[in-house]
Amino acid sequence: MHPAPSLIAFTTLSGLGFGLLFWLGIDATPPTGWVAFVFFAIAFVLALGGLGASAKHLGRPERALKAFTQWRSSWLSREAWAAAAALTLSGFYAAALVFFATPVLPLGWLGALMALVTVGSTAMIYTQLRTVPRWHDPSTPVVFLLYALAGGALLSGRVVAAILLLVACGAAQGWVWWDGDRRLARSGTTLASATGLTHGTPRAFEPPHTGSNYLTREMVFVVGRKHAAKLRVIAATLAFILPVLLLLLPFHHLFALVAVVSHVAGVVVARWLFFAEAEHVVGLYYGRAPSG
Amino acid sequence: MCACRCGINVHMKSGKVAYIEGNRDHPVNKGVLCAKGSAGIMQHNSPARLRAPLRRTGPRGSGEFEEITWEEALETAVSWLKPLRETAPEKLAFFTGRDQSQSFTGWWAQQYGTPNFAAHGGFCSVNMAAAGIYTMGGAFWEFGSPDWEHAKLFVLFGVAEDHDSNPIKMGIGKLKARGAKIVGVNPVRSGYNAVADDWVGITPGTDGLLILSLVHCLLKAGRIDLDYLSRFTDAPVLLDGDPRSDTHGLFLRDGEGKPLVVDRLSGKTVAFDTPGIRPDLAGHIRRAGVSHGTVMSRLAETYLSDSYAPEAVADRCGLTPARIRALAAEIARAAFDAPVVLDRPWTDFRGERHAQMIGRPVAFHAMRGISAHSNGFQTCRALHLLQILIGAVETPGGMRFKPPYPKPATAHPKPHAQSVPGQPLNGPHLGYPQGPADLALGPDGKALRIDKAFTWENPLSAHGLMHMVISNAVAGDPYRIDTLFLYMANMAWNSSMNTQGVMEMLTRTDDSGDYVIPRIIYSDAYSSEMVAYADLILPDTTYLERHDCISLLDRPISEPGAAADAIRWPVVEPDRDVRGFQSVLLDLGARLGLPGMVDDAGAPLYDDYADYMVNHERKPGIGPLSGWRLGKNGLQHGRGDPNGGQLDSYIANGGFNAMHIPVDAQYFKPWNMGYQDWAVEHGLMDAPTPYLFTLYAEPLRRFQRAAEGKGDVQPPDHLRDRIRDCLTPLPVWYPPFDGGDTADFPIHALTQRPMAMYHSWGSQNAWLRQIHGHNPLYLPTALMQAQGLHDGDWVRVTSPHGEITVPVLEMVALNPNTVWTWNAIGKRKGAWALDPDAPEATKGFLLNHLIHELLPPKGDGLRWSNSDPVTGQAAWFDLRVRIAKATPPQEARPQTGRQTSPVPPSPDTLRWQVRD
Amino acid sequence: MTQLPERTDRTLGLVIDLDTCVGCHACVVACKGWNTQSQPSPLSDTDPYGADPSGTFLNRVHSYEVTPEAGAAQLVHFPKSCLHCEDAPCVTVCPTGASFKRTEDGIVLVNESDCIGCGLCAWACPYGARELDAAEGVMKKCTLCVDRIYNENLPEEDRVPACVRTCPAGARHFGDLSDPDSPVSLLVAERGGFDLMPEQGTRPVNKYLPPRPRDTWEEETDVLAPWLAPVAEEPRGFLGWLDRALDKL
Ligand SMILES: Nc1nc2c(c(=O)[nH]1)N[C@H]1C(S)=C(S)[C@@H](COP(=O)(O)OP(=O)(O)OC[C@H]3O[C@@H](n4cnc5c(=O)[nH]c(N)nc54)[C@H](O)[C@@H]3O)O[C@H]1N2
Ligand SMILES: Nc1nc2c(c(=O)[nH]1)N[C@H]1C(S)=C(S)[C@@H](COP(=O)(O)OP(=O)(O)OC[C@H]3O[C@@H](n4cnc5c(=O)[nH]c(N)nc54)[C@H](O)[C@@H]3O)O[C@H]1N2
Ligand code: SF4
Ligand code: SF4
Ligand code: SF4
Ligand code: SF4
Ligand code: SF4
Ligand SMILES: [Mo]
């Protein structure tokens, strides 16, 4: 798939934002006043920034509100509701903390839950797509949630949780990279099933148009295997290895900041790969062989 | 829009063209429409449309022009053409390209008096047309069609698209629906050949050999239609076997000139058309000690020879003997297993009544794949021989002619080329010579025509040789010209061989710095490459803005069951200062005072082309349009006086007139008196002219005799051998000429028409150019592997004449010695209102750079044109090349510079929607 | 409404004959021409005369080469537009309800005025049948020419999709696939019509008819051989045969 900056920004930022909201929401002894304001502000900026970025991906952003209508069937619509609920609940919870220094804990828990639901829904948007076998797997929401939780823990300064989650997320991500490379082949969708031309070995000849089109731009994106391998190393280093090492060092605000920055940069690279490596089955029609 | 001439319905909204679809009632396309037809809107709205008459201001090729008024443009043209007509009319060369008004443009040129007129047929299809007409009085091309309703086996030779593109597709659909079998003979398995049930991936240029081998197999097995051959062909005609006779090798004839046959019933030697006879295929007579046998026995002697056995030819054809036999057997089975029998009684020209129409359900069709070779004429003849041997022409299930065909070569005019200053030419330019006496040669034996048509170099060049005009004119051979007047032909680009060379010739100057071709007038509707090379541009309208006439005098829209013609009429007014070319030509003719275009007082006879279409008469009662003419008892079709309301009647009827042939006259037309009488009544001919198919072509024999030294008109010595070997009266195969050295240039290189593009003009079409925006060279797998190539790599392609560097793609379903590309996709930078970075200009390319209009020097100091020696048909597909991997250049090579665009820049986005 | 109907009254769709399609692209352009003027907004083209022309098309014709175990390679032209799936994933993912499947005839449509152009439906379609229009910002797809097939302003015989009407080879058939006796259903049954990517679980309505077996000469040699049994080996013998044969006429 085309690694659209708006979608990379969206999933990265909103994941971090809702991850942070989760940790803030379940904190038994939440901060109050200015400290609370700063934490929640960061979470809101990230979450809203992410959602804002996602609106950029729309052809008709002015109609974005219509996306709330189809929660019964559409994960995107559910995500919109969940995000709205998470932000509203967390908003009230935060307001109480900032202005009244009153932790309305159940509200926080609900907000935290909705934050996770939001991240889960985002993940489900991708997971549900059979057309992208790399995504169409239970591991997708798991990994999305782990990213959000780890990032949130890191942002909220929970060193131990962050280390553990980063390691878990890194491991999961590593496995998904390895396993993901095999999923298109495993899905059973091939050029032969796509065309029904089974009386021999089919091979794409001329494309329908020599010009480009929406499909080739959006869905028939391919990254070189060597290039992808390099980026995986970079992503793993930045998102997991470096932050964990920094967290293992004696705590220092600078280290923590570098860990956060490194992690975010790593997630951006990982998300770039998430999209760029995802083979949409329509690519088969255009002669794109599985990259496994 | 193209030569297929389909009927369209143009839907308008708010006075604008909204949508185009096929006209269901139209005889040609019956409602369907090809991609180009549906994209006609984009053709009509193209940003490349010329806007006003142009006068060149920069050097030729630069594309620098100033806009002028029509008055200036026409007066400029008159000031060039008038003095020429009065002194040396042959110094005007008027050639038209994809013209659908040749009967009109030819008439204009005849009235002007220049011998130098032809259309594009010489590089297109003359082999097909001439071989068909000389053999059986009709050709495939647009003039014949498979009997889609009854054929059970359809064999397609060398066709990618053809002029009858929609009818062929519809026909294939019909055959498929009936489960009939389709065989594709083509080095490339794409398009029609892809849907063929069986594919014969022949080596280019060897079809003649394959076909004659099929003939060999069928003769040997006796799978030929004896009844048909004896009744309707020259197979039983006796040949003069006396080597001392003046007519040696020609038909024996009676006192009236009628060919003689032996009647099997009476044993007498009689004229072929004697009522009640059964001509004897095995007949022979002895006269004065010399024996004279039939064409049939000559034929059997020739083709039963082992040199035509599958084993002897298979290698050269790139096939196995088994494959050839299988095809022969398939034909035999389809032809003789279950004949088609129609219960339609009819009467033949000998007065014999037939209770039924019996036919062989084997249909062939062929086009440029076999004809655009230097052995194309004879290959096409070979195919007709095969068809006729099995009795599959004009019989149910076989091939059927479309009116005005059948019409044998003898019923066509002969060529005329004698020009006299200030006078019209002595007759029509183009025609069908019957022998050396009909050549267009001056008393000194020199060519009268600039293209050297109808000379010993290519005696039967019935369509002229447009591809030779520019190089002959520049070489001053046979003479220099003053004004080159072109219409609808992109001669500076895709319709020329040796494109770069032609661009150079068009810009070549003499010692005094003047252009060697002093003046070039050109009519185009769009900003083509050729526009940049002309001095005066007469901008045409688009096809939706003018009247056109698709006439029975020309290339009509007839179908086997109906004679039909059609008009186009303007559905929108031009929003630019452009005029329909035919109207402009009439205006020019009137200003020049050409006979037939002015009245006695010198005033114009016709207001415009529409007026001409209605009121012009070629012969009394016969005009450009056959429908709704004035008869004694009101309106009638075919013959009649001009009718002022004619165009309205056409429009009311969907733009066409179809005159249906009675069912009992729809087959066996050359011999069917029902048809003959109907055709006379409808103005297609003046008297019934039944004739025999000529497997043995006497005109060719007459040229051959001359080459043997007999007769008054003698060929130059250097051509004797070639004429003797190539102009054989029975079909023959010889290797194509321009192979180059096989070892040096082992690979055949071809082009194909893309179904969704029309030559060079498709590229200005925003929709179509997305489908074919550039053209890779397709290489067979073996070649890809041998050269270590992958899709998207670049190669250098070298021919004996030149070199190009282009991108490649692999194709598996391809003859292993053949490469090919789509035709005419490559564009010159700056042309067609395209961005100079358009893929057409940066990756697209023309194979034409590799094809020369002359053959490589042969050591005799003379350079022969790269054409068929019989007809002069351009031998596009003889090209051979070698290929080597190249480092990818920035852009495809060669680049030919950039021309300034005479039209405003194109828009960045298109949101094409017309609302009520 | 992005929930799929339980069942539809009719199942209108196309049957595309891969044995007959010559790859002429007529259907591609007729579709573009009809739909650009009939849909609420045009099917736009960006950089139409430039270096990278790119436009919205609802129907595109691919081509594939198939190399059998034995015998020559074959080429198959492969037109593809929306298959109006029964279990259309493009519909259920749509967050706005712009994408829907009609109960009356099963046609899958996009209501342009509700579409936010999120692109998700196009991602969900395995067949590449949806294109987001660059200039209009909304999703475009084959409508099965719903504005033709019920259009009372058109003559009855023209109430078929534009692509079907124009196809010169007659490779495209339109009809109700839920009716087992409809011509399209009969074609599918007779010719072994199949689904594209059945494993995707979309249950496409449109069916494809497979190319008939090609290049079967080898299998037929025995049947064909007698047709070439010689009557003579050389010209003289041939003339003798000719004489005898003529006597029998
Ligand atoms: N869409 C479209 N239609 C057109 C045109 C167009 O530009 N576009 N142009 C029109 C014009 S002017 C013409 S002349 C006609 C031409 O129509 P076609 O006769 O179909 O001409 P080409 O496209 O040149 O196709 C020639 C075919 O012959 C094959 N071939 C080449 N050499 C050999 C050979 O030695 N043996 C055999 N058996 N096959 C061979 C090639 O592979 C190719 O398939 O089309 C007309 N129709
Ligand atoms: N390599 C290779 N070259 C070939 C062939 C091949 O097979 N291979 N085929 C040859 C054959 S058969 C042919 S017929 C030629 C065709 O080649 P051309 O005869 O050059 O055909 P077009 O490219 O169609 O160009 C005709 C010109 O007509 C102009 N035109 C279009 N519409 C109108 C109009 O309404 N009015 C006027 N006045 N002008 C108009 C176009 O803008 C264009 O400049 O190409 C030949 N060249
Ligand atoms: S084949 Fe030619 S005339 Fe017919 S629709 Fe296509 S472009 Fe028009
Ligand atoms: S083909 Fe694609 S767009 Fe059409 S209904 Fe099926 S999934 Fe949806
Ligand atoms: S692009 Fe439009 S139709 Fe498609 S899912 Fe988004 S809102 Fe629905
Ligand atoms: S049915 Fe209509 S919209 Fe669909 S592909 Fe055909 S022409 Fe296009
Ligand atoms: S119009 Fe018909 S033959 Fe042409 S590409 Fe489309 S389906 Fe195939
Ligand atoms: Mo042509």
In angstroms, the CA B834 to CA B828 distance is 9
C184: left (phi over 0), alpha (psi -120 to 50) or beta: alpha
In angstroms, the CA B636 to CA B641 distance is 9
User: What are the DSSP E strand ranges found in B378-466?
Assistant: 399-401
SS (H, E, C) chain A: CCCCHHHHHHHHHHHHHHHHHHHHHHCCCCCCHHHHHHHHHHHHHHHHHHHHHHHHCCCCHHHHHHHHCCCCCCHHHHHHHHHHHHHHHHHHHHHHHHHHCCCCHHHHHHHHHHHHHHHHHHHHHHHCCCCCCCCCCCHHHHHHHHHHHHHHHHHCCCHHHHHHHHHHHHHHHHHHHHHHHHHHHHHCCCHHHHHCCCCCEEEECCCCCCCCCHHHHHCCCCCCHHHHHHHHHHHHHHHHHHHHHHHHCCCCHHHHHHHHHHHHHHHHHHHHHHHHCCCCCHHHHCCCCCCC
- Pairing of β B54-56 and β B65-67: antiparallel
- Type of residue numbered B314: A
Residues lower than pLDDT 70 in chain B: 1, 3, 738-740, 859-861
Ligand 5 atom with least separation from CA of C132: 1
- Last residue within a domain, chosen from A105, A128, A151: A128
Instruction: Answer yes or no: do A201 and A120 share one domain.
Output: no
First to last CA, chain B: 26
Mean pLDDT score, A8-37? 95
List the one residue out of B412, B405, B453 whose CA is nearest residue B432.
B412
In angstroms, the CA B392 to CA B67 distance is 57
The answer to whether the CB of B402 falls within 8 A of the CB of B195 is no
Q: How many CA atoms lie within 13 A of C40 on its CB side?
A: 14
Q: Give the model confidence (pLDDT) of A146-199 as tens digits.
A: 999 999 999 999 999 999 999 999 999 999 999 999 999 999 999 999 999 999
- Largest interatomic CA distance in chain C: 86
Out of C81, C83, C120, mutate this one to test ligand 4's pocket (max ligand atoms within 8 Å of CB): namely: C83
> Which backbone phi and psi does B269 adopt, to 5 degrees?
-95, 120
In a domain, A134, yes or no: no
List all residues whose CB is within 6 A of at least one atom of ligand 1: B 2-3, 124-125, 157-163, 165, 185-188, 202, 204-205, 207, 367-370, 373, 750-753, 755, 757-759, 820, 877
The Å distance, Cα B772 to ligand 6 centre, comes to 21
Least CA distance to B916: which residue of chain C? C37
Q: Does B312 touch chain C (CB under 8 A)?
A: no
Ligand nearest to the CA of B190: 1
The alpha-carbon gap from A205 to the nearest alpha carbon of chain C, in Å, equals 5
Note the ipTM here. Answer: 0.96
Q: Exposed, middle or buried by CB within 10 Å (0-12, 13-18, 19+), for B286? A: exposed
What pLDDT was estimated at residue A292? 35
Q: Give the model confidence (pLDDT) of A80-108 as tens digits.
A: 999 999 999 999 999 999 999 999 999 99
Q: Which sign does the torsion angle of CA B267, B273, B274, B278 carry?
A: positive
The answer to whether the CB of A291 falls within 8 A of the CB of A222 is yes
On the question of pLDDT at A291 being above 50, the answer is: no
Token digits of residue A43: 């979470």
Is the minimum distance from the CB of B848 to ligand 2 under 6 angstroms? yes
Instruction: Answer yes or no: do A115 and A194 share one domain.
Output: no
Domain tally, chain B: 3
Q: Which sign does the torsion angle of CA B541, B543, B546, B547 carry?
A: positive
Who's near A226: CB < 8 A, 6+ residues apart? none
Token digits of residue B765: 């079409």
The Å distance, Cα B125 to ligand 8 centre, comes to 6
Instruction: Answer yes or no: do A197 and A291 share one domain.
Output: yes
Q: From the list C63, C126, C208, which residue is nearest A282 (CB)?
A: C126
- Last residue within a domain, chosen from A128, A148, A179: A128
First to last CA, chain C: 76
In angstroms, the CA B635 to CA B629 distance is 5
What pLDDT was estimated at residue B770? 98
Q: What residues form DSSP beta bridges with C74?
A: C66
Is the minimum distance from the CB of B757 to ligand 3 under 6 angstroms? no
**Residue identifier of the C-alpha nearest atom 2 of ligand 6:** C145
The answer to whether the CB of A201 falls within 8 A of the CB of C66 is yes
Is the minimum distance from the CB of C1 to ligand 5 under 6 angstroms? no
- Type of residue numbered A38: V
**What letter does residue B905 receive in the DSSP assignment?**
P
Ligand nearest to the CA of B823: 2
In a domain, B242, yes or no: yes
In angstroms, the CA A129 to CA B223 distance is 63
Out of B94, B95, B526, B758, mutate this one to test ligand 2's pocket (max ligand atoms within 8 Å of CB): namely: B526
Ligand nearest to the CA of B819: 1
In a domain, C226, yes or no: no
- CATH code for the domain of C26: 3.30.70.20
Contacts of A136 in chain C (CB under 8 A): none
Token digits of residue B641: 């006086």
The Å distance, Cα B877 to ligand 1 centre, comes to 10
User: What are the DSSP E strand ranges found in C137-246?
Assistant: 139-141, 172-176, 207-209
Containing domain of residue C60, as a range? 12-209
In a domain, C30, yes or no: yes
Question: What is the DSSP code string of B365-401?
Answer: EE-HHHHSSTTHHHHHHHHHHHHHHTT-BSSTTSEEE
CB contact under 8 A, B770 and A205: no
Containing domain of residue B447, as a range? 56-127+415-539
The answer to whether the CB of C235 falls within 8 A of the CB of B297 is yes
**Residue identifier of the C-alpha nearest atom 2 of ligand 7:** C167
The answer to whether the CB of B351 falls within 8 A of the CB of B275 is yes
List the one residue out of C53, C45, C247, A114 whose CA is nearest residue B774.
C53
Token digits of residue A120: 């889960």
The answer to whether the CB of B212 falls within 8 A of the CB of B317 is no
Q: From the list A205, A206, A209, which residue is nearest B770 (CB)?
A: A209
- Pairing of β B483-487 and β B519-523: parallel
Instruction: Answer yes or no: do A288 and A204 share one domain.
Output: yes
In a domain, C71, yes or no: yes
- CATH code for the domain of B96: 3.40.50.740
**What letter does residue B343 receive in the DSSP assignment?**
-
List the one residue out of B823, B225, B88, B228 whose CA is nearest residue B490.
B823
On the question of pLDDT at A290 being above 50, the answer is: no
In a domain, C129, yes or no: yes
What pLDDT was estimated at residue C217? 85
Q: What residues form DSSP beta bridges with B261?
A: B237, B270
Instruction: Answer yes or no: do A117 and A164 share one domain.
Output: no
Instruction: Answer yes or no: do A119 and A166 share one domain.
Output: no
User: What are the DSSP E strand ranges found in B442-506?
Assistant: 483-487
Q: What residues form DSSP beta bridges with B536?
A: B55, B521
| Sheet (strand B909-910) strand order | B909-910, C45-46, C54-55
Q: C221 falls in which pLDDT band (50, 70, 90)?
A: confident
The alpha-carbon gap from B776 to the nearest alpha carbon of chain A, in Å, equals 10
Please provide the size of chain B in residues.
916
In a domain, A153, yes or no: no
Q: Does B26 touch chain C (CB under 8 A)?
A: no
In angstroms, the CA B171 to CA B149 distance is 8
Is the minimum distance from the CB of C127 to ligand 4 under 6 angstroms? yes
Is the backbone peptide bond immediately before B478 cis, with ω within 30 degrees of 0? Answer: yes
What pLDDT was estimated at residue B863? 75
CA B283 to chain centre: 38
In a domain, C27, yes or no: yes
In angstroms, the CA B817 to CA B448 distance is 41
Contacts of B772 in chain A (CB under 8 A): 210
In a domain, C3, yes or no: no
Instruction: Answer yes or no: do A181 and A263 share one domain.
Output: yes
The answer to whether the CB of C27 falls within 8 A of the CB of C163 is yes
Domain tally, chain C: 1
In angstroms, the CA B105 to CA B275 distance is 43
Range list of H helices, B689-823: 698-707, 717-726, 768-771, 781-786
In a domain, B702, yes or no: no
Subunits in contact with chain B (3 or more CB pairs closer than 8 Å): A, C
Subunits in contact with chain A (3 or more CB pairs closer than 8 Å): B, C
The alpha-carbon gap from B768 to the nearest alpha carbon of chain A, in Å, equals 9
Domain tally, chain A: 2
Instruction: Answer yes or no: do A178 and A72 share one domain.
Output: no
In angstroms, the CA B11 to CA B33 distance is 14
**What letter does residue B638 receive in the DSSP assignment?**
S
- Pairing of β B519-523 and β B562-568: unpaired
Instruction: Answer yes or no: do A109 and A227 share one domain.
Output: no
Containing domain of residue A68, as a range? 1-128
What is the enclosing helix (H) or strand (E) of B626? none
What is the enclosing helix (H) or strand (E) of B228? helix B226-232
